[in-house]
Amino acid sequence: MIPTLQTERLVMRAPRGEDLSEWAAIMADPDVARYIAPAPMTRDEAWRSIAASLGHWQLRGYGSWAVERKSDGAMIGRVGMINPEGWPGLEIGWTLGKSSWGKGYATEAAGAAMRYAFLTQPVDRLISNIDPDNASSQAVAVRLGETKGERTALKVGGKDYPVDIWVITRGEWQRRAAAA
């Protein structure tokens, strides 16, 4: 049910049980988890996160992929479509381990997820909910063609987290895709 996507350097595939150690290490890193709610995660919370990701595919028909680097098969993070109950729209989100930062992987994988979303989902826009202080993710959003929209608060686990909603419309995406 979960399709596999490939980019030049990455394989985006269904999360697997054997991803737990890598995902738990990524989400336990305070630098990675700084802008993610709730985080840092314990190993048990990371397991629940994988299970929730798989459940998202089952309930919505889309979700997040485990991202694997082709060169060595390492699972380096998670990227995909997020839209739990109460979310402000279909989100393209990304979380990569610190050792994968600054290499363009987030933009590469999120771009593939965005393409998949616009080709398979009947939405007029995609969003990315980004912490106002997360300059690195804001830079990824800009490279993806998103523009900063309204600030809101996302309620996660009963707590409000401020985010800026970055947006790209289907028309904007189509124009960018045609120009590429």
Domains of the chain, each with CATH number or no CATH: 5-179 (3.40.630.30)
> Order of strands across the sheet with 5-6?
5-6, 10-13, 64-69, 75-82, 91-96, 125-130, 159-169, 147-156
Residue 138, C-beta contacts closer than 8 angstroms, at least 6 positions apart: 130, 148, 164, 166
Instruction: Give CA–CA dist 45/39, Å, rounded.
Output: 9
81's tokens: 């479509």
Alpha-carbon torsion, ordered 36, 150, 176, 169, to 10 deg: 100
How many helices (H) and strands (E) would you count in the chain? 6, 8
- Cα distances (Å, whole numbers) of residue 107 to 32, 125, 149: 16, 18, 19
* The pLDDT of residue 158: 82
- Cα distances (Å, whole numbers) of residue 48 to 111, 155, 172: 26, 18, 35
Closest CA to 127 of 81, 155, 92: 92
* The pLDDT of residue 159: 85
* The pLDDT of residue 65: 98
CA–chain centroid gap for 52, Å, is 14
Q: pLDDT of the chain along its 180 residues, tens only?
A: 899 999 999 999 999 999 999 999 999 999 999 998 667 999 999 999 999 999 999 999 999 999 999 999 999 999 999 999 889 999 999 999 999 999 999 999 999 999 999 999 999 999 999 999 999 999 999 999 999 999 999 988 788 899 999 999 999 999 999 998
